[in-house]
Structures are given as C-alpha cells and as structure tokens.
Amino acid sequence: MNRYNARPAASLLALATALGLAGTANAAVTVTADAVFVDAAAPEGSAVEAPATAADPQQDAAAAPAEGEQTDGLTDIVVTATKRETNLQRTPISISVMGAETIRERKVQSLLDLTDGGIPSLRVATFEARQSALTIGIRGIVPLDANQPAREQGVGVYIDGVYLGRQHGLNAALFDIERVEVLKGPQGTLFGRNTEGGALSMISKAPTGEFGGRIEGGVGNIGSRNASIHLNLPEVAGFSVKLDGVYQHQDAVTKNPLPGQTGWGFFNRKGLRAAVRWQPVEGITNDFAYDVAKDENSPFYSQLLNYNPNGCLSGGTNLAPLAIPAGSACVTPGTSFTGSQGTIRSLLPGVVVNGETLMRTADIGVPQRPSVDDTHGFTNTFKWKIAPELELRSITAWRGVDVEQWDNSGGAHRVPVVNLTAACAGANCAFSRYSLADLRQRQFSQEIQAVGTIGSVDYVAGFYYFNERVSDDAATPNSMGATAIVSGGVVTGATYAPIPFCTGAANPLVGAAVQGCSIDRASNVRSKSYAVYGQATWNATEQLHITVGGRYTKDKKQGELTFSRGVNYVTNPTVAAANGYVPLDKEWSRFNPMATVAYDFSDGVHGYVKYATGYRAGGASSRTSDYRAFDPEDVKSYEVGLKADLFDRRARINIAAYMMDRKGSQVDLSTIQPTATGNFNNLVTFNAPGTTKIRGIEADLTVKPTERLKFDLSYAYTYTNIPEVPVTYREFTSAGVPTGNFTTVPQKFYVVFTPRNAASASVDYEVPIGGSDTRIKFHLDANYSQATQSFDQFATKNDESFVVNGRISVLDIGFGGGDQKLTMGFWARNLFNTQYVYRRDPSNSIPSVQSNAVAGVPNITRIANNGGILGDYGNFNMPRTFGVDASIKF
C-alpha cells in the first residue's frame, strides 16, 4: 500500500519518479509532504537498502529535504538499526538520532562533547581524569573499568558498521559525520556481544561523485582553534573520491606552574580520511575508506575537594601523620581492629583545598607531558544486489590503536602523599604519583550479510568474525620531591622540585612511556569471536508485524600477566605461582534471542512490545596479582513503546518503558592483596550473585508549531539496584599481623555514571533574510542530570549538573555569483559557566575499606589502612567555552 499526504501528492510522485526509486510491485514507497522514503521495514516493505555504513548521498537526498529547505511539518529520520535504512518512527527500537545539523549546533567535535547529556539515556565520561579513554553507557549498563586489555565495554561503539574494540581512542576528532544513532537496550541479535546496554553508531558521509566541498575554521577562548576541509571529487570511470581533513586544538584549562610542562585539559587533534566509492555496474557498490588520527591530550586536573571529610580527627591539622584511634566513628561500620586505624595524612604546605570551583592554575606544579593516541584503520564494504529483493554484503575492517599515557593529574592531592617530617630536611621526600602506560591494540573483523524479502517476510542473516590482540604495561613512579624547611626542630614549610624517575635499564618488553620504570603490571590478550545470526519480520497484515531473531556467539580469550608489582612473571614463575597467578584461557558461548510484535494503529501512530537479550564478554583483571578471571554478564530486557506523529506532523512523541534483569554483573572491589612480595592494592573484578534490576522510562518530544520554530524535549528515568554482596574479611592488627578474627559485612555496589533523572531540551528558531536562502538561526539547549556515583563500591556521589549551550548562525550567504554559500556563527558551551564535580574519588578519605576477595573465596583478608587519609579528590566539568566559526560550501 502506498501512503500519500494529499496536499502535494502529485508533485512528490513526480519527484519520486525522477529519483528513480526502484522496487517490485509490492515495494513500500512512503511519500509525505516532507520527504520521499523507501521504508524497508514497513508492513508491505520489500525494498533492499544500504547497510549501516557510510551514508549514501542519493538515499539521503530522497529521505530528507535539502539542507536549508523549509517544510511545513516534521521530516522523516532515517536509521539503520535493523541493517536496513528505515523510518525511525516505524522502527520498533528506542533510538535517538543526532544529525549533522545538531552536531554543528552543539559544537560536538568529539564524543567527549556528549558528556553534557544531550541524549539523556547516553552517558559519556572520562576514565579517571583522562581524555584518552571514554566510558560510555546506556540504560544503566556502564562499566567502571573497561580500560584493561581483557575487559570489555557494555555499549558497542561503531563507525560505519565496524565495531571498535577498545575505549581507547574514542575521543579522536570526528570526521564528516552524517548522523549518530543511539540504539537503546540490548542489541545482542544483530550487533552481537558487548551491546547489552545498546549501541552508539556513527555514520560518515559518503562520496557524492560530484565536485564540491566545505571548508571550515574557527577560533575561541582557552586558545581554541579548529579547521577542516571536506572535498568531493568528480566521478571518473565509476570511481568517486571524498577527502576529509580535521584539526582541533585547545590550550590547557588548568595551567601548570612547573616551567616547561603541559597543563591540564589540553588537546591537539588532527586526522585524515580518504573514501573511495566504486560502482562498476548497476547493482554493485564497493566503499573503501582509510583514516588516520592523532590525539595529543592531557588529563583534567584532579583537585583536593575537602580534607578529612569523615571527621577521623578532631582538632587542627599537623604536618606529621596522626593516628586514628581504635573505635573511631569514621571507620567502616561492622569492622573491628586492634591498634590504630591508620593515619591522617598531612597537607603539604601550599596545597589548596577547593571543592567549589575549577582551579585555573594548579597549586603545585608537577611533571606532565601530553598523552598520545594514534588511531588508524580501513573499512571495505561491498554490496551486490543479485536480485531485486536480495542484497549480499561484505564488511571487512582492520583497525589499530596505540596509546602513550602520561597522567599526573593528582599531584599532591592524592595518596600516597609524603608525610613531611624533619627527616625530609636533608633530602627530597618523594610524592606525586605519575600514571604511565602504553597500550597497543589491533583488530580485524569480517561480516557477511544477506538482506532480502520473500513474500511478506523481510529478513537479515549473517556471519561475523572478530580477532583482537591487545598488550599494555603500566608504572606509577613518584615524580616530585618535597624538602622540609625546619626551624627549631619544627617543620615550617617545604620546597618542591621534580626528581628523576624511571631511570632503570631499557626494557624491550614494554613501551616507550614506561621505559626504565619498575612495571606495576603488563599483560597480553588475544580474543576471537565467531557468530551467526538471523532476524525475520513477518508482515502478517498491513498493521501487524512480528519479528523473531537469534544470534549464536562463541568467544575465546587467552592472556598472560607478564609483570606484576615490579616482578617479571615470565622470568620468575615461582613468584607468579606463589601469588596464585593463572594465565587466562577461557571460552564462552551464548545464544541471544529476540522477539518483537509491532502494530500500526494509523499512518502516524506505531506501537511495539519487545523482548531482547545481550551479554558482555568475560575476561580477567590485570590489576590483580593473580590475574583473576571472571565470566560474562547477561541481560534480558522487556520493553513497550509508542511512536506517534500528531497534528499534521507538527508534533512527534516517542515513549519507551523497559525492565532489564542482569545476572552475573561484573563489579569491582578495591582490595589489598597479600602476595609473595608484599601487600599490594588491587582491583578485583567478579560476578556478583543475584539479579541486578534496571527499570526505566524514556520519552522524546518534538514540536514544530511553525515553519521556523522547533522545540525538542527528552527525558530518561533510570532505576538500578545491584543486590548486596556479603564480604568476609580476615582482620589484621595495625602491624599487619592476623588476629584470627573474621567479619562478614554486606557490601553495596552501585551502577556508575547513571542518573535517576536526566533531561535535555532545545529550541531552534530561524528568521529569513530577504528573498534569498540566507537566514539567521538561533539555537539554545539545556541539559540536566541528577548526581551519580563514580565508583561502584562507594556511595559517594558526584554533583548534579545543569549545562546550557547556545549558537547564533547566519546561514547560506551567497557570494561569488555561483553556488558558493558562506555560514558564520557564534557559539558557547556551558553558557552560564556552571561548575560541578563530574567525578569524585573518595578512596583518599575512607579508611579500612580494602579487602582481597568476596565470600566463598579462600584467603579473604582486610588490612587496616590504604596509605592514609587525606580527602576526596575529583574533577570539575569544562568551564564556559565560546568562539566564532565560519564555513564555505562550494
């Protein structure tokens, strides 16, 4: 059945014919006042469209108005969530889409710019304070530490249909992005493993085959500047080429007083991309793209937010450590120790405690150089339409990431911090932990798809293969020395200076950042994944559509911990065995089914109920001395949704409510682990017993009351609950001697970076200038998030956030007598300069919270103190940034 809006049906039918929309007699062609759209997921759909690879400019032209063209109502939005290009409103998945125009209006230069919460269900945060690795979550599936080689993400990130295996390098500069699709809820059937929370899919603009392009540039505060060029070359012998180059720079947000050293919050990004489309004959298209990018950056500054916040000491502060008396109320309830409960660390002279505002200059300068992320890779997508209703596709990709990490964001603000005593008068006492690391990742993937239609059934079937190799190493030397100023035997102050670090012999087994260091940890991991999948939609009637699907996946993961706490496990196997070390050699398999029943109540109102499953692969924690393995976590989701275009397409509302039950939740416990060479801090990852419950509601409302005015409002409610885990501790005296006493206490865990309530609103208004295409556009968006946790074992919360962004643009100014168009704009992010702590670490503040295992595991211990009490430290959001930019289209 063909659908038409009566008003301009005849003209649009002529347009459709001119565009050459092909299909069989029962192909679904939807024609509206705003767009022409081939809907492959519609009840009567049989057209076979492109996969979720680079956006086809001809299909985009058919699916939406030309840029700058005004329409009476809301336009159709094209998505690729079902491996076909379909209408967002007819796709039975909760999806948010950020198109190229929205990306420009919000000044989104990299995925890090999504931290303000423009899509409420999508949470983006830095790992620790580092720009070089991003934590991405959807619907309460947010990993605490996917930074390790043997750990996985809970949300899949894709570029042109290719899965990106690591969170490293995700902050690279974005090239010419057509749109970003955020698929919410498990996508285990079509997208596979590590998509239990959903998927973030970026689609690049493809070559047009016609000469043209765009040049952009801009400047702003904090020394920011950016430039890009996007050039399409004319088609020659079936080949079309598109070239992209990007450059982005920002000076340090927090200055470093130490001469010659980089400040904090700096970045310098650059990248090149070349895309070639080959269409030798009708029905065959081959897209090849190669990209290379370099991101130099420094972490955000970690401030000391308070001092001794739990009242472990009454009275003033001293420069010497002070014992916490036994039985102190600040000690974790349910535990008892003999002797003292650790010490209060002294504040070094000159250290500033500031929990209110971002420090624009650090109190004590420390060594800091930029981290470097190099990303590169190619993708080849081959499509062959072997019959009118069958298309075969091959997506082949190879990618790599190389990281040198230099993170001295904590300085004098985190333990271990030197206790400044008279003993430091004659020599530097070391402090300022410098977190150094190297990571190298290589991945290859191959996917084969068959997309087609048989009668009233639309189907997708495929095979997927993924191979990844990752190695990393890390060291944490102290980089500064404090020399006490002593008068009459009393310490009255201190001077500070850098000290040599990592001065040992060269080590060919580790990377450049940790050369000469005592290696804290190093590991190598090899992962392989195989999957077959299928999904079919039976269009039972014109209104009723029933979809079923399934995916079988087999994972194999092998790995070795080669260094731990300065010990080379390869050359010291006896020590490795004494520490309980076991190499990783695991296999897992999963079958992930899904089912959806969708119903079209009318041409503009569509509802669905959905059951979906997903999982996150298992692995091992390289932050433990025994390389302890853990299993996958699995999620089941039950969802009901409604999508409606109302009031002659002046309003659009999409609502989804869901329940998710997750078993085997991968949680992390900070520990002190006794080993053959001493007691060491570890982060143990294990599968929590019981069922984690996640419940939520999502709503998106768009209203376009006039041709020039549009409002958007999005809201997400997310409830999460991980059952308490009983943890048993063996108690020690303050001297580290076991007492023979054991205590079992319930340990509460939290889902990180997941607000209970989050919302985003925006307004766009355009004013035409004269009778030309030129117009002024005003954009304003506001984004709110309730407070969240940064760590899954601490109840301590970050601040709530409220950020407003804005832009004023003059669009499409004609000049030169041709098709050239100039666009100029003034933009501001965090317009009102609101400041909040987005990441708060209480591990500086809480004594006696360390253990090395959970109930049921042998050798469960707790040691009284983890280096002393200082205070919470954390990171503030970016201050207000603003600037001007311009672009020329030709």
**CA dihedral defined by 148, 152, 157, 162, rounded to 10 degrees?**
100
Predicted local confidence at residue 834, as pLDDT: 97
Q: What backbone torsions phi and psi does residue 863 show, to the nearest 5 degrees?
A: -115, 150
- Say which amino acid occupies 882: F
Q: Which two tokens stand for residue 145?
A: 């530490």
Contact 439, 165 (CB under 8 A): no
Place of tokens 């899949």: 156
- Secondary structure letter of residue 326 according to DSSP: T
Q: Which two tokens stand for residue 504?
A: 């040992």
CA separation for the pair 167, 177 (Å, rounded): 19
Helices assigned H by DSSP within 301-340: none
For the segment 427-434, the average pLDDT, to the nearest whole number, is 88
Give 725 or 776, the one with higher predicted confidence. Answer: 776
CA separation for the pair 482, 485 (Å, rounded): 10
Answer positive or negative: Cα dihedral of 369, 370, 371, 372: negative
Q: What backbone torsions phi and psi does residue 596 show, to the nearest 5 degrees?
A: -140, 140
Residues in the chain: 890
Residue 859 CB-density burial (10 A; 0-12 exposed, 13-18 middle, 19+ buried): exposed
Burial 703-713 (b: 16+ CB within 10 A, else e): bbeeeeebebb
Predicted local confidence at residue 332, as pLDDT: 42
For the segment 8-31, the average pLDDT, to the nearest whole number, is 35
- Secondary structure letter of residue 264 according to DSSP: B
Predicted local confidence at residue 426, as pLDDT: 76
Q: Which two tokens stand for residue 561?
A: 């911990």
Alpha-carbon radius of gyration of the chain:
28
Contact 94, 88 (CB under 8 A): no
| Edge-first strand listing for the sheet containing 478-487 | 429-433, 478-487, 490-498
Place of tokens 């390869």: 570
Count Cβ atoms below 10 Å from residue 353 Cβ, excluding itself: 18
pLDDT tens digits for range 582-607: 999 999 999 999 999 999 999 999 99
The Cα-based distances of 318 to 6, 314, 339, 751 in angstroms read 81, 12, 21, 37
- Say which amino acid occupies 330: C
pLDDT(735) > 60: no
3-state secondary structure string, 673-717? EEECCEEEEEEEEEECCCEEEEEEEEEEEEECCCCCEEEEEEEEE
Contact 334, 727 (CB under 8 A): no
Predicted local confidence at residue 388, as pLDDT: 93
Count Cβ atoms below 10 Å from residue 882 Cβ, excluding itself: 17
Helix (H, G, I), strand (E, B) or coil at 254: strand
pLDDT(831) > 80: yes
Give 143 or 293, the one with higher predicted confidence. Answer: 293
Predicted local confidence at residue 38, as pLDDT: 32
For the segment 640-653, the average pLDDT, to the nearest whole number, is 97
For the segment 538-552, the average pLDDT, to the nearest whole number, is 98
pLDDT tens digits for range 42-73: 333 333 444 455 666 544 444 444 444 445 68
Q: How far is CA 474 from the centre of its chain?
A: 22
Contact 302, 129 (CB under 8 A): yes
CA separation for the pair 132, 771 (Å, rounded): 47
For the segment 551-569, the average pLDDT, to the nearest whole number, is 95
Helices assigned H by DSSP within 559-673: 573-578
Q: Which two tokens stand for residue 583?
A: 């190499």
Predicted local confidence at residue 23, as pLDDT: 40
Q: Which two tokens stand for residue 93?
A: 């998945």
Q: Which residues contact 213 (CB under 8 A, 6 or more apart)?
A: 229, 230, 231, 232, 889, 890
pLDDT(829) > 60: yes
Q: Which two tokens stand for residue 91?
A: 């796709």
Q: Which long-range contacts (CB under 8 A, 24 or more apart) does 810-813 make?
A: 810/769, 810/774, 810/775, 810/776, 810/777, 811/68, 811/766, 811/773, 811/774, 811/775, 811/776, 811/777, 812/68, 812/772, 812/773, 812/774, 812/775, 813/774
Q: What percent of the chain has pLDDT over 90?
A: 69
Pick the closest to residue 523 from 629, 409, 434 (CA basis): 629
Helix (H, G, I), strand (E, B) or coil at 809: strand
Report the chain's mean pLDDT, rounded to a whole number.
85
Count Cβ atoms below 10 Å from residue 819 Cβ, excluding itself: 9
For the segment 832-856, the average pLDDT, to the nearest whole number, is 70
Pick the closest to residue 273 from 256, 294, 257 (CA basis): 294
Pick the closest to residue 867 from 845, 889, 885, 852 (CA basis): 845
pLDDT(769) > 50: yes
DSSP letters along 612-631, please? EEEEE--EE-TTSSS--EE-
CA separation for the pair 261, 269 (Å, rounded): 19
Answer positive or negative: Cα dihedral of 616, 622, 624, 629: positive
Q: What percent of the chain has pLDDT over 70?
A: 82
CA separation for the pair 528, 530 (Å, rounded): 7
Predicted local confidence at residue 615, as pLDDT: 95
Pick the closest to residue 873 from 323, 171, 354, 342 (CA basis): 354
Predicted local confidence at residue 344, as pLDDT: 66
Count Cβ atoms below 10 Å from residue 151 Cβ, excluding itself: 26
CA separation for the pair 770, 817 (Å, rounded): 17
For the segment 229-258, the average pLDDT, to the nearest whole number, is 98
Contact 553, 589 (CB under 8 A): yes
For the segment 483-505, the average pLDDT, to the nearest whole number, is 87
Beta bridge partner(s), residue 777: 766, 809
| Residue 208 Ramachandran class (φ > 0 left, ψ -120 to 50 alpha, else beta) | alpha
CA separation for the pair 287, 773 (Å, rounded): 33
Burial 664-674 (b: 16+ CB within 10 A, else e): bbbbbbbbbbb
Q: Which two tokens stand for residue 592?
A: 């992930």
Predicted local confidence at residue 493, as pLDDT: 84
pLDDT(519) > 60: yes
Q: Which two tokens stand for residue 748?
A: 């509460």
pLDDT(370) > 70: yes
pLDDT(866) > 60: no
- Secondary structure letter of residue 409 according to DSSP: -
Helix (H) or strand (E) holding 103: helix 100-105
- Taking the CA of residue 452 as centre, how many other CA atoms within 13 Å lie in the half-sphere pointing to its CB? 17
CA separation for the pair 748, 755 (Å, rounded): 17
For the segment 508-528, the average pLDDT, to the nearest whole number, is 93
Contact 651, 645 (CB under 8 A): yes
**CA dihedral defined by 203, 209, 212, 214, rounded to 10 degrees?**
10
Q: Which domains does the chain have, with CATH numbers?
A: 3-435+445-500+508-646+661-889 (2.40.170.20)
The band of 146, judged by pLDDT with boundaries at 50, 70 and 90, is confident
pLDDT(654) > 80: yes
